[in-house]
Amino acid sequence: MSERVAVVTGANKGIGFAIVKALCKRFEGVVYLTSRDETRGRTAVEELNKLDLQPRYHQLDITDVQSVSRFRDHIKRSHGGLDILINNAAVANCSDPYTTYEENKYIVDINYKSILILQDLLFPLIRDNGRIVNISSDCGHLSNIRNKKWIQRLSKKNLNVDDINEFVDWFLENCRNGTFKKEDFADEGTMAGYRVAKVALSAITMLQQREMEERNICVNSMHPGLVRTSMTNGVGFYSIDEAAETPVYLALDAPDTLKGAYVWYDKRVLDWYDSEADYFFKTSTLQVK
């Protein structure tokens, strides 16, 4: 039997770094720390080496088809496949609650569109009984959306990828042509690009589960909590090591009946479809000292 392989994207700092650290301590197999910037990634590996942990490194820019293809070829050649994929790489706009079309497109490309590239190139390598964890956000719960048409469309039983892509494109087109409405989103439409991208990621998780079902691969999305990282400008109630606990639980410990779920930072499974719930992100939490 070939050795087991776990991959974490965007892992040179923050939650991704902590997930790699935790996996290196518990996972029986090879753990890959990947990052867009090779220098930062190798520096992160050196930090873990000082703790007697031995992750392997490979450059991976999740928005670049060629980079993902090179990584796929490396995994295929070196290991024949992989068992755990934690899609952590992300960007947010915490400094300004309202952003330009260009910034929103960048946020959507990294937080959502990249998953389509990974799905196409890396998902076929995941072995039977493997696990995929998509790091979403409280911004990824359906209650972040207030537009009734999109709530209904994203909630339908026969949801498909075209529905999700059209939702994302609707938002970006509104940003581009000046028809963006704050009332289409919770919390006065703050951080709308991040909300749209993470709602799309949470939604596509359920489609991915449908496609992976016959191979007994578990695909779940989760909100890691408000974590003290550079992305939140250091504001949060969780350290990165605490925030890594639930993603690692989903990767290693959760029952294999947990599939296509939206999981809260405390391991609770929430009803993603409850658009009236109070699970949406509130910018006021970023003011907490």
What residues are paired with 262 via a beta bridge? 221, 270
3-state DSSP assignment of residue 3: coil
Which residues in 114-129 are b (16+ Cβ under 10 Å) and which e?
A: bbebbbebbbebbbee
Please say if 262 is a catalytic residue.
no
Nearest to 84 by CA among 274, 242, 247, 264: 247
Residues 190 and 129 sit within 8 Å (Cβ to Cβ): no
Q: Is 16 exposed, middle or buried (0-12, 13-18, 19+ CB in 10 A)?
A: buried
Q: How would DSSP label each residue in 182-250? A: GGGBSGGGTTHHHHHHHHHHHHHHHHHHHHHGGGT-EEEEE---SB-SGGGTT--SB-HHHHTHHHHII
Structure tokens that stand for 240 in this block:
């990165």
Q: Of 57, 194, 265, 279, which is the active-site residue? A: 194
**Block residue for tokens 């890396």:** 122
Contacts of 59 (CB under 8 A, 6+ apart): 34, 35, 36, 38, 41, 67, 70, 71
Residues classed as catalytic = 194
